[in-house]
């Protein structure tokens, strides 16, 4: 997908003020959460509230994802049926996906809407390639809190215990051309910590990061957008390569480094992402 997924903000479907506020927040996508952010005795009402907001509120260019409860809970089936064909929904997010069969079960209830998978269990990590290859899958979301819980790992600034799972899911998503976004940073008032974790996720290759608070959005958007220097370099690489080709050469040299056609593909992707981000910003400004 060429649309940006730099910032993907969770909003508990039970919080009306947050559902209203989302229209003012420059997140690229929203996960309207019926699962872990909603208390059991609020789940049924949250489903009704969310269906109303998604019918009545224009969330502009923000991609609208509904995280349903698992089909092994008393709420999951009704969640899937309520949002499967809702005009205000772009995708359904399935929690705790262990294997492609978990997506089959939701796909059987929701005929057309694209599916996303929460990658947050040990089994899910080991089956990441098969999950990413599911025909209905569009995107993957790392659930690093649940994953840490399952692994019994400690939270570390360098996320060393997470690296195997993050890497497996990234490989799987890229092998199948899926969107993939990183997990949340829980300390939502710690800007420096968030900046560092965004930089790590960006360096690894994630498209963006999931967030829990509006104050995290700007830092995340900046981290996952190509910088001005990256855009400038991409343009110069394309120019240098085109000039070399015009002279019958397959390789250019720019700033002491080689530029081959594979670098041109990356440079074109950088420019396409920058353009998609500009279009998203214009659409939000025009709202």
State which residue, 117 or 264, has the beta carbon closest to ligand LIB3CWND. 117
Total of chain residues touching Mg ion, rule CB under 5 A = 3
State which residue, 71 or 254, has the beta carbon closest to ligand LIB3CWND. 71
20, containing H or E segment? helix 16-21
Q: Phi first, then psi: what are they for 145, rounded to 5°?
A: -70, -50
* Residue 68 binds which of ligand LIB3CWND, Mg ion, none (CB < 5-8 A, kind-dependent): none
Distance, CA of 43 to CA of 37 (rounded, Å): 10
Distance, CA of 164 to CA of 170 (rounded, Å): 10
- Among 63, 69, 60, 62, which residue's Cα sits nearest to residue 13? 69
The angle at the Cα of 92, spanning 119 to 101, to the nearest 5 degrees, equals 55
- Closest approach, Cβ 34 to ligand LIB3CWND, in A, equals 10
- Closest approach, Cβ 143 to Mg ion, in A, equals 4
- Among 67, 64, 172, which residue's Cα sits nearest to residue 126? 172
State which residue, 90 or 182, has the beta carbon closest to ligand LIB3CWND. 182
State which residue, 53 or 241, has the beta carbon closest to ligand LIB3CWND. 53
* Residue 65 binds which of Mg ion, ligand LIB3CWND, none (CB < 5-8 A, kind-dependent): none
Residue partners of 62: CB distance under 8 A and separation at least 6: 22, 27, 28, 29, 30, 284
Residues of this chain that interact with ligand LIB3CWND (CB under 6 A) are 9-12, 17-18, 21-22, 33, 36-37, 118, 120, 143-146, 183-184, 188, 212-214
The angle at the Cα of 118, spanning 113 to 121, to the nearest 5 degrees, equals 145
State which residue, 36 or 42, has the beta carbon closest to ligand LIB3CWND. 36
Q: Does 102 bind Mg ion (CB under 5 A)?
A: no
Binding mask 135-154 for Mg ion (x = CB under 5 A): --------x--x--------
List residues binding Mg ion (CB under 5 A): 120, 143, 146
């Amino acid at each position: 997908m060429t649309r940006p997924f730099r910032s993907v903000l969770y909003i508990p479907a039970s919080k009306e003020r947050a559902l209203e506020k989302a229209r003012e927040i420059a997140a690229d996508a929203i996960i309207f959460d019926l699962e872990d952010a909603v208390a059991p005795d609020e789940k049924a009402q949250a489903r009704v509230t969310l269906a109303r907001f998604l019918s009545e509120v224009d969330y502009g260019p923000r991609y609208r994802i509904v995280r349903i409860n698992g089909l092994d809970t008393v709420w999951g089936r009704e969640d899937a049926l309520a949002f499967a064909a809702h005009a205000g929904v772009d995708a359904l997010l399935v929690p705790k996906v262990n294997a492609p069969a978990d997506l089959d079960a939701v796909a059987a209830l929701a005929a057309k809407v694209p599916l996303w998978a929460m990658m947050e269990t040990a089994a899910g990590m080991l089956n990441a390639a098969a999950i990413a290859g599911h025909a209905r899958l569009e995107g993957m979301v790392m659930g690093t809190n649940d994953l840490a819980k399952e692994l019994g790992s400690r939270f570390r600034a360098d996320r060393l215990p997470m690296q195997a799972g993050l890497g497996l899911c990234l490989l799987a998503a890229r092998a199948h051309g899926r969107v993939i976004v990183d997990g949340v940073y829980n300390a939502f008032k710690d800007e420096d910590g968030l900046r560092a974790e965004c930089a790590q996720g960006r360096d690894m290759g994630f498209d963006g990061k999931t967030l829990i608070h509006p104050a995290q959005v700007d830092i995340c958007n900046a981290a996952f957008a190509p910088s001005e220097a990256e855009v400038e370099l991409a343009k110069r690489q394309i120019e240098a390569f085109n000039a070399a080709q015009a002279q019958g050469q397959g390789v250019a040299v720019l700033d002491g480094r080689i530029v081959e056609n594979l670098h041109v593909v990356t440079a074109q992707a950088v420019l396409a992402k920058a353009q998609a981000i500009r279009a998203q910003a214009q659409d939000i400004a025009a709202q």
